[in-house]
């Protein structure tokens, strides 16, 4: 009955907030491309088959461990964020991957079907702008009801100590967060990437945020206890003392170019052709977002072959491996700018749309901004001769503790906090600030 009163649009803010709408269209391209490759009747048969499997699917896709964390990572980026903390956790706990979530979705299908009339009523009550999202997201909205019900049943049977998520705005994860809270199970949020100011307010019980930047953008939440732990997946990158020793030694090094889901093929073509023209004898590595639709990926691959540009496959090589091979980075709005700074790699941003400096990297001095394609070469030439100590110094705002050599690793701090949460004990070493978040203070440190 509780599910009938869910605001599934609120649980899918990426589908309903204006700032997310363009990203929605791009994020659905791969799914749409797959749908177009099969006929309508084939798709219908597939959905009926899934519903039939749902009738006999297990309601417990994976046995969770009583009073211990349940780690939910449905994508590669989420896994990269959570895995270091999971490995640092002192006891056995349950890891829930994309395959397990798929099993849960199959089980949830039979519940979703009954909420079709409820969703249609919700559609009638919406304004015209939100009604437009139903055209591409009806099945996603409908699935949210089923995920919530199946999630509550699963958690009721298993009773983990807490549920840990690394996404705050996509329906499946929002529904599981709501299901856990309604079952009285604490929820923990760990970022998997930098956030923008248009992200929704935090609705978790606890949030282990990257740094002050994330806290400032999310704002104070009366229901979420916030700790600035730093970024666990960066623990193995160069420490600040290494970055401080770097000087302007980028001359002749490879240029890395990253594209995200909002960059169309025409923009990608212009960017790569411009860079190859400006740097005829210099090695260039191109890297696409892991979720790039196959047709776009193939077209870029052919273009790179024609231009003698190497490719870094983001599905196989992680960002740190990529950054270790380049001396300067060119990209649009992407969290990889912060990763580059922590690796001592300077960056130049050039935007393919009106999105602009959503992460604040240019504003905070972490990256350069080129206003045109022609200007990118000038920025790269200048960065080749600039010392790089400023990168490590500026990164502290985004990654708490990255400039403190004696601070425990972010994964260690996060795992310790989660262990105390599951045992209902108070962690030590954390002090509440006047801004109502908790920061790490070493024993004997003032302030």
Average pLDDT, stretch 227-234?
93
The SS3 of residue 350 is coil
Percent of the chain at pLDDT > 70 equals 85
Cα(382)–Cα(143) distance, integer angstroms:
51
Q: What is the pLDDT of residues 293-319, one digit of tens each?
A: 888 899 999 999 999 999 999 988 988
Residue 238 carries which DSSP code? Answer: -
The SS3 of residue 422 is helix
**Residue whose C-alpha is closest to residue 231's, from 78, 400, 367:** 400
- State the Cα angle at 86 between 85 and 90, rounded to 5°: 95
pTM: 0.85
Q: What is the pLDDT of residues 339-367, one digit of tens each?
A: 888 888 999 999 876 667 889 999 998 99
Size of the chain, expressed as the number of residues it contains = 447
Distances (CA, A) of 381 to 245, 278, 332: 20, 10, 19
Q: What is the pLDDT of residues 234-284, one digit of tens each?
A: 886 644 344 444 444 555 689 999 998 878 889 999 999 999 999 998 999
Largest CA distance in the chain: 69
Cα(403)–Cα(397) distance, integer angstroms:
10
The residues pairing with 225 across neighbouring beta strands, listed in sequence order, are 206
Percent of the chain at pLDDT > 90 equals 53
Q: What is the pLDDT of residues 403-447, one digit of tens each?
A: 787 899 999 999 999 999 999 999 999 999 999 999 998 665 555
Task: Write phi, then psi, for 363 (nearest 5 degrees).
Answer: -60, -40
Q: Are 328 and 346 in contact (CB under 8 A)?
A: yes
Burial class (CB in 10 A: 0-12, 13-18, 19+), 184: exposed
Cα(362)–Cα(355) distance, integer angstroms:
13
Residue 14 confidence class, pLDDT cut points 50, 70, 90: confident
Q: What is the pLDDT of residues 49-80, one digit of tens each?
A: 766 677 777 888 899 999 999 999 998 889 99
**Residue whose C-alpha is closest to residue 206's, from 174, 167, 176, 162:** 162
The SS3 of residue 48 is helix
Q: What is the pLDDT of residue 92?
A: 96
Burial class (CB in 10 A: 0-12, 13-18, 19+), 4: exposed
């Amino acid at each position: 009955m509780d599910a009938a009163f869910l605001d599934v649009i609120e649980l899918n803010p990426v589908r309903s907030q204006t700032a997310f709408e363009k990203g929605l269209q791009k994020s659905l391209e791969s799914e749409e491309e797959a749908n177009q490759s099969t006929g309508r009747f084939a798709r219908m048969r597939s959905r009926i088959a899934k519903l039939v499997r749902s009738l006999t699917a297990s309601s417990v896709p994976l046995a969770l461990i009583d009073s211990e964390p349940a780690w939910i990572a449905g994508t590669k980026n989420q896994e990269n964020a959570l895995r270091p903390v999971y490995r640092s956790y002192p006891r056995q706990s349950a890891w829930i991957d994309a395959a397990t979530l798929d099993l849960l979705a199959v089980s949830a299908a039979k519940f979703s079907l009954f909420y079709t009339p409820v969703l249609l009523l919700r559609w009638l009550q919406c304004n015209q702008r939100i009604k437009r999202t139903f055209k591409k997201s009806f099945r996603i909205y409908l699935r949210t009801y089923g995920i919530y019900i199946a999630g509550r049943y699963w958690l009721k049977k298993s009773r983990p100590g807490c549920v840990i998520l690394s996404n705050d705005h996509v329906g499946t994860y929002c529904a599981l967060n709501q299901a856990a809270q309604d079952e009285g199970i604490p929820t923990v949020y760990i970022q998997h990437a930098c956030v923008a100011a248009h992200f929704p307010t935090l609705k978790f019980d606890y949030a282990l945020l990257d740094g002050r930047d994330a806290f400032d953008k999310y704002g104070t939440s009366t229901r979420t206890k916030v700790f600035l732990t730093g970024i666990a997946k960066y623990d193995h990158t160069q420490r600040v003392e290494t970055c401080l020793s770097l000087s302007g030694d980028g001359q002749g090094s490879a240029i890395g170019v990253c594209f995200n889901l909002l960059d169309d093929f025409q923009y990608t073509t212009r960017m790569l052709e411009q860079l190859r023209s400006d740097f005829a004898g210099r090695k260039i590595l191109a890297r696409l977002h892991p979720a790039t639709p196959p047709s776009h990926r193939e077209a870029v691959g052919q273009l790179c072959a024609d231009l003698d540009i190497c490719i870094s496959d983001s599905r196989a090589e992680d960002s740190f491996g990529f950054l270790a091979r380049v001396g300067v980075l060119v990209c649009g709005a992407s969290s990889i700018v912060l990763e580059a700074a922590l690796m001592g790699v300077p960056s130049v941003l050039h935007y393919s749309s009106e999105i602009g400096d959503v992460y604040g990297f240019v504003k905070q001095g972490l990256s350069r901004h080129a206003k045109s394609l022609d200007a990118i070469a000038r920025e790269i030439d200048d960065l080749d001769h600039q010392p790089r100590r400023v990168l490590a110094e500026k990164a502290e705002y985004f990654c708490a503790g990255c400039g403190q050599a004696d601070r425990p690793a972010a994964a260690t701090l996060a795992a310790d906090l989660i262990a105390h949460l599951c045992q209902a004990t108070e962690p030590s070493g954390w002090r509440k600030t006047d801004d109502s978040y908790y920061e790490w203070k070493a024993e004997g440190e003032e302030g």
